[in-house]
């Protein structure tokens, strides 16, 4: 299995660096970005940081009225329009809308996602976590690809998760059509897919000026946990009986602002100018996981496999054919 080399580069930032630390000294004024899920949780903080640095930020949302209310206090050039990642006609229409407004796109941040939800089918009988987290973003990137290529140095950041270490892609039954649905396995393979998508995109278009990275943002309590009750989060070690962060979580978890910094670093760092396809965590490139890797860090070999990236790309195109 050929893997993209994964090794920390010593970025100089910490796991809990803040957005202003990451963006200091980086010229972003006049650039254009799309941030999916950019009105909630760490996506909101990503939008706030980029807009504050002079980036024109497009935020696609299922509920524009709700998003506009959330973003009302955020300063900057922010544009909210309707898009539903589970409805591919909606995704393609949104891509056409942005491409019609902007001659180039400098940043695409695939931040939106769902986690550990009840079994739901969308599209062509697709499992919803894989469909929303991966297929929807795959189609969005395809629709925006001419604009990304036109930027002459664009970056795409796909939000993965340490949850990817639970499962490779279920190559023989991606959509749980022959096996019982298990929400955490479904989430895990969708996060592996996010990492492989970034690697595959970089393999295909890196030499044409579109570099891609995947990101584990860290542990952060956000609306992503909407499908989890406190009893389950307590069992996972995230909260106590009263719903407050556990002692372990207080040590490891980040605030929403800290949770967006690895995204910002992957999207803007000059240290990554000559590379791509890497999985990042804690504002640095992650190490390749081995037998002695800590539970909540490092990237599994299957998530940085070039063969896996090619196989996923081909499988996704077949699903869309």
Domain limits of the chain? Answer: 19-219+256-320, 220-253
**pLDDT tens by residue, 38-95:** 999 999 999 999 999 999 999 999 999 889 999 998 999 999 999 999 999 999 999 9
pLDDT at 235: 59
Residue 277 gets the label, from left (phi > 0), alpha (psi -120 to 50) or beta, of left
pLDDT at 233: 60
pLDDT at 5: 80
| Distances, alpha carbon 49 to alpha carbons 3, 251, 258, in Å | 32, 24, 11
With contact defined as beta carbons under 8 Å apart, do 166 and 116 qualify?
Answer: no
pLDDT at 227: 53
Residue 114 gets the label, from left (phi > 0), alpha (psi -120 to 50) or beta, of beta
Distance CA 37, CA 102 (A): 20
Architecture of domain 19-219+256-320: 3-Layer(aba) Sandwich (3.40)
Mean pLDDT, consecutive 10-residue stretches, the chain (321 aa), reads 81 93 97 97 96 98 91 95 97 97 97 92 97 98 98 97 95 97 96 98 97 91 57 63 65 85 98 96 94 86 97 98 96
What's the predicted TM-score (pTM) here? 0.91
Cα atoms in the Cβ-side hemisphere of radius 13 Å centred on 183 = 11
Q: In this structure, how many other beta carbons lie within 10 angstroms of the beta carbon of residue 233?
A: 18
Q: b/e string for 186-197 if b means 16 or more Cβ within 10 A?
A: bbbbbbbbbbbb
pLDDT at 210: 98
Token output for 256: 């929403």
Distance CA 91, CA 179 (A): 29
Q: In this structure, how many other beta carbons lie within 10 angstroms of the beta carbon of residue 287?
A: 15
With contact defined as beta carbons under 8 Å apart, do 192 and 300 qualify?
Answer: yes
Catalytic residue numbers read: 187
Strand partners, 210: 154
């Amino acid at each position: 299995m050929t893997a993209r080399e994964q090794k920390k580069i010593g970025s100089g930032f910490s796991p809990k660096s803040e957005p202003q630390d990451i963006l200091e000294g980086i010229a972003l004024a006049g650039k254009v970005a799309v941030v999916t899920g950019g009105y909630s949780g760490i996506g909101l903080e990503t939008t706030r940081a980029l807009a504050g640095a002079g980036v024109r930020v497009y935020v696609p949302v299922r509920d524009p009225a709700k998003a506009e209310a959330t973003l009302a206090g955020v300063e900057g050039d922010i544009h909210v329009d309707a898009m539903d990642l589970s409805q591919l006609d909606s995704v393609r229409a949104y891509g056409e809308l942005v491409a019609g407004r902007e001659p180039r796109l400098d940043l695409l941040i695939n931040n939106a996602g769902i986690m550990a939800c009840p079994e739901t089918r969308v599209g062509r009988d697709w499992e919803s976590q894989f469909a929303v987290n991966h297929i929807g973003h795959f189609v969005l990137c395809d629709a925006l690809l001419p604009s990304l290529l036109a930027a002459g140095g664009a970056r795409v950041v796909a939000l993965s998760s340490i949850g990817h270490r639970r499962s490779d892609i279920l190559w023989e039954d991606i959509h749980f059509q022959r096996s019982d649905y298990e929400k955490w396995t479904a989430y895990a393979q969708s996060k592996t897919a996010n990492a492989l998508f970034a690697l595959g995109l970089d393999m295909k278009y890196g030499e044409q000026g579109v570099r891609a990275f995947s990101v584990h943002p860290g542990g952060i309590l956000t609306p992503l946990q909407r499908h989890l009750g406190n009893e389950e989060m307590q069992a996972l070690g995230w909260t106590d009986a009263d719903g407050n962060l556990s002692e372990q979580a207080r040590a490891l978890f980040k605030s929403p602002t800290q949770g967006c910094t690895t995204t910002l670093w992957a999207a803007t760092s000059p240290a990554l100018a000559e590379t791509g396809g890497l999985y990042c965590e804690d504002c640095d490139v992650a190490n390749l996981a081995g037998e002695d890797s800590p539970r909540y860090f490092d990237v599994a070999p299957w998530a940085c496999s070039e063969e896996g990236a090619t196989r996923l790309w081909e499988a996704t195109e077949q699903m869309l054919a």
